[in-house]
Protein backbone atom coordinates (compact mmCIF):
# COMPACT_ATOMS: atom_id res chain seq x y z
CA UNK A 1 0.00 0.00 0.00
CA UNK A 2 2.89 2.33 0.77
CA UNK A 3 4.13 1.84 -2.79
CA UNK A 4 0.95 3.32 -4.23
CA UNK A 5 1.34 6.33 -1.94
CA UNK A 6 4.89 6.74 -3.29
CA UNK A 7 3.57 6.62 -6.85
CA UNK A 8 0.91 9.21 -5.99
CA UNK A 9 3.57 11.55 -4.56
CA UNK A 10 5.70 11.02 -7.68
CA UNK A 11 2.75 11.93 -9.91
CA UNK A 12 1.80 14.99 -7.86
CA UNK A 13 5.40 16.26 -7.77
CA UNK A 14 5.81 15.79 -11.52
CA UNK A 15 2.55 17.64 -12.22
CA UNK A 16 3.59 20.49 -9.91
CA UNK A 17 7.01 20.73 -11.56
CA UNK A 18 5.59 20.65 -15.09
CA UNK A 19 3.02 23.30 -14.19
CA UNK A 20 5.77 25.52 -12.76
CA UNK A 21 7.66 25.32 -16.07
CA UNK A 22 5.19 27.80 -17.56
CA UNK A 23 5.81 30.27 -14.72
CA UNK A 24 9.61 29.85 -14.83
CA UNK A 25 9.72 31.78 -18.14
CA UNK A 26 12.54 29.67 -19.51
CA UNK A 27 14.21 29.44 -16.09
CA UNK A 28 14.54 33.23 -15.83
CA UNK A 29 12.39 33.45 -12.67
CA UNK A 30 13.99 32.00 -9.55
CA UNK A 31 11.08 30.71 -7.45
CA UNK A 32 9.22 28.86 -10.22
CA UNK A 33 12.56 27.44 -11.41
CA UNK A 34 13.29 26.11 -7.92
CA UNK A 35 9.83 24.52 -7.87
CA UNK A 36 10.60 22.84 -11.20
CA UNK A 37 13.91 21.38 -10.02
CA UNK A 38 12.60 20.40 -6.59
CA UNK A 39 9.44 18.91 -8.05
CA UNK A 40 11.25 16.77 -10.60
CA UNK A 41 13.81 15.63 -8.00
CA UNK A 42 10.98 14.63 -5.69
CA UNK A 43 9.09 12.93 -8.52
CA UNK A 44 12.05 10.81 -9.59
CA UNK A 45 12.96 9.93 -6.00
CA UNK A 46 9.47 8.65 -5.25
CA UNK A 47 9.22 6.94 -8.63
CA UNK A 48 12.46 5.13 -7.80
CA UNK A 49 10.96 3.98 -4.48
CA UNK A 50 7.90 2.77 -6.37
CA UNK A 51 10.05 0.67 -8.69
CA UNK A 52 11.18 -1.49 -5.77
CA UNK A 53 7.74 -3.13 -5.87
CA UNK A 54 5.92 -2.25 -9.10
CA UNK A 55 7.42 -3.27 -12.47
CA UNK A 56 8.93 -0.33 -14.35
CA UNK A 57 6.59 -0.64 -17.34
CA UNK A 58 3.48 -0.58 -15.17
CA UNK A 59 4.69 2.20 -12.87
CA UNK A 60 5.79 4.39 -15.77
CA UNK A 61 2.54 3.84 -17.66
CA UNK A 62 0.53 4.94 -14.62
CA UNK A 63 2.90 7.82 -13.79
CA UNK A 64 3.01 9.23 -17.28
CA UNK A 65 -0.66 8.59 -18.08
CA UNK A 66 -1.89 10.29 -14.93
CA UNK A 67 0.58 13.12 -15.51
CA UNK A 68 -0.63 13.72 -19.06
CA UNK A 69 -4.26 13.89 -18.01
CA UNK A 70 -3.62 16.07 -14.95
CA UNK A 71 -1.38 18.49 -16.86
CA UNK A 72 -3.98 18.80 -19.62
CA UNK A 73 -6.66 19.57 -17.03
CA UNK A 74 -4.45 22.13 -15.30
CA UNK A 75 -3.63 23.73 -18.65
CA UNK A 76 -7.36 23.96 -19.36
CA UNK A 77 -8.29 25.33 -15.91
CA UNK A 78 -5.31 27.56 -15.13
CA UNK A 79 -3.75 28.51 -18.47
CA UNK A 80 -6.98 28.69 -20.46
CA UNK A 81 -5.82 26.08 -22.97
CA UNK A 82 -8.60 24.76 -25.16
CA UNK A 83 -9.33 21.02 -25.10
CA UNK A 84 -11.20 19.76 -28.15
CA UNK A 85 -13.06 16.46 -28.43
CA UNK A 86 -10.13 14.46 -29.76
CA UNK A 87 -8.06 15.62 -26.75
CA UNK A 88 -10.83 14.65 -24.33
CA UNK A 89 -11.31 11.26 -26.01
CA UNK A 90 -7.56 10.66 -25.95
CA UNK A 91 -7.39 11.43 -22.23
CA UNK A 92 -10.36 9.15 -21.58
CA UNK A 93 -8.50 6.37 -23.40
CA UNK A 94 -5.41 6.98 -21.27
CA UNK A 95 -7.46 6.79 -18.07
CA UNK A 96 -9.21 3.66 -19.37
CA UNK A 97 -5.86 2.05 -20.08
CA UNK A 98 -4.59 2.75 -16.57
CA UNK A 99 -7.81 1.34 -15.09
CA UNK A 100 -7.57 -1.81 -17.24
CA UNK A 101 -3.97 -2.32 -16.15
CA UNK A 102 -4.81 -1.91 -12.48
CA UNK A 103 -7.95 -4.03 -12.49
CA UNK A 104 -7.10 -6.85 -14.90
CA UNK A 105 -3.31 -7.10 -15.26
CA UNK A 106 -1.40 -9.73 -13.34
CA UNK A 107 1.67 -7.48 -13.64
CA UNK A 108 0.30 -5.04 -11.09
CA UNK A 109 0.74 -6.01 -7.42
CA UNK A 110 -2.57 -5.81 -5.55
Over residues 41-88, the pLDDT tens digits come to 999 999 999 999 988 888 988 898 899 999 999 999 999 999 899 989
Tell me what pLDDT residue 1 has.
74
In whole angstroms, give the CA distance from residue 55 to residue 59. Answer: 6
pLDDT bracket for residue 16 (50, 70, 90): very high
Tell me what pLDDT residue 45 has.
98
CB 33 within 8 A of CB 69: no
Of the candidates 109, 100, 104, the one whose C-alpha atom is nearest the C-alpha of residue 2 is 109
The vertex-67 CA angle with 99 and 93, nearest 5°, equals 40
Q: What is the pLDDT of residues 25-39, one digit of tens each?
A: 999 999 999 999 999
Amino acid sequence: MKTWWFLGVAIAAEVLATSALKYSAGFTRLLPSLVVFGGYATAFYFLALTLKTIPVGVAYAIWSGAGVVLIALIAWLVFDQRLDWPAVVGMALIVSGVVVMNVFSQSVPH
